[in-house]
Chain A
Amino acid sequence: MTNKKTILIAEDEAAMLSALSKKFTSKGFDVLEAKDGEEALAKALDKKPDLVMLDIIMPKIEGIEVMKKIRGVRQWGGEVPIIMLTNLSDADSVSEAAKFRVYDFLVKTDWKLDDIVNLVKVKLNL
Chain B
Amino acid sequence: MKIKINLSDKILLILAGFATIFVLIAIFVIENSLQQVLVLGAVVYLFSFITAYLISWRFSKKIIKLVYRIEEMASGNLSKKFTITEKDEIGQLKNALNELVSRLQTGVAQDVSKHKELSRAKTDFVALASHQLRTPLSIIKWYVDFLISGDAGDISAEQKKYLKEVYVSNERLIELVNALLDVSRIDVGTFSIEPEPTDIIKKVDISIQKFLQKIDEKQIKLERLYDELPMINLDPRLTKTVFENLISNAVKYAPKKGIIRIEIKKTKTNIYIKISDNGCGIPRENQPQIFTKLFRADNVKKIESVGTGLGLYIVKAIIEKSGGKIWFQSPSLEFLEQKGKKPLKKIDNGATFFITIPLKGMKRKAGTKKLSS
Whether A108 pairs with B138 at a CB distance below 8 angstroms is yes
Other-chain contact of A16, B139, B149, B192 (Cβ < 8 Å): B139
The B-contacting residues of A in range 1-32, CB under 8 angstroms, are: 13, 15-16, 19-20, 22-23, 26
Known: A23-B146, A113-B146, A114-B145. A13 touches B135 (CB 8 A): yes
Stretch from B29-37, B93-101, B363-371 at the A interface: B363-371
Question: B143 to chain A: which residues have CB within 8 Å?
Answer: 15, 19
Other-chain contact of B145, A16, A87, A91, A112 (Cβ < 8 Å): A112
Dominant secondary structure at the B interface: helix
A107 to B138, CA, bound (A): 9
Whether B370 pairs with A13 at a CB distance below 8 angstroms is no
CB distance from B209 to the nearest CB of A (A): 14
A89 touches B (CB below 8 Å): yes
Other-chain contact of A109, B138, B149, B192 (Cβ < 8 Å): B138
Whether A91 pairs with B192 at a CB distance below 8 angstroms is yes
Count of inter-chain pairs, beta carbons less than 8 A: 57
A106 to B143, CA, bound (A): 18
A88 touches B (CB below 8 Å): yes
A19 to B143, CA, bound (A): 7
CB distance from A38 to the nearest CB of B (A): 21
B131 touches A (CB below 8 Å): yes
Question: B373 to chain A: which residues have CB within 8 Å?
Answer: 89-90, 107
Question: B369 to chain A: which residues have CB within 8 Å?
Answer: 90-91
A108 to B361, CA, bound (A): 30
Whether B142 pairs with A26 at a CB distance below 8 angstroms is no
A87 to B145, CA, bound (A): 18
Dominant secondary structure at the A interface: helix
Q: What is the chain B residue whose CB lies nearest that of A20?
A: B142
Known: A89-B370, A89-B373, A91-B369. A109 touches B145 (CB 8 A): no
A108 to B134, CA, bound (A): 8
Known: A113-B142, A114-B145, A114-B149. A91 touches B134 (CB 8 A): no
B174 touches A (CB below 8 Å): yes
A114 to B322, CA, bound (A): 35
Known: A109-B134, A113-B146, A114-B145. A19 touches B370 (CB 8 A): no
Per-position contact with A for B109-146: 1 when CB-CB < 8 Å, else 0? Answer: 00000000000000000000001001101110111011
A80 touches B (CB below 8 Å): no
Whether B131 pairs with A19 at a CB distance below 8 angstroms is no
Q: What is the chain A residue whose CB lies nearest that of B173?
A: A109
Per-position contact with A for B329-373: 1 when CB-CB < 8 Å, else 0? Answer: 000000000000000000000000000000000000001111001
B228 touches A (CB below 8 Å): no
CB distance from B24 to the nearest CB of A (A): 92
Question: B135 to chain A: which residues have CB within 8 Å?
Answer: 13, 16, 87, 108
- Since A13-B135, A23-B151, A109-B141 are in contact, a sample of 9 more A-B pairs with Cβ atoms closer than 8 Å, ordered by chain A residue number, is A16-B139, A22-B151, A89-B373, A109-B138, A109-B174, A109-B178, A113-B142, A113-B146, A114-B145
8 shortest A-B CB distances, which residue pairs? A108-B138, A87-B134, A19-B142, A89-B373, A15-B139, A109-B174, A109-B138, A109-B134
Interface residues, chain A, with chain B CB atoms under 8 Å away: 13, 15-16, 19-20, 22-23, 26, 87-92, 94, 107-109, 112-114
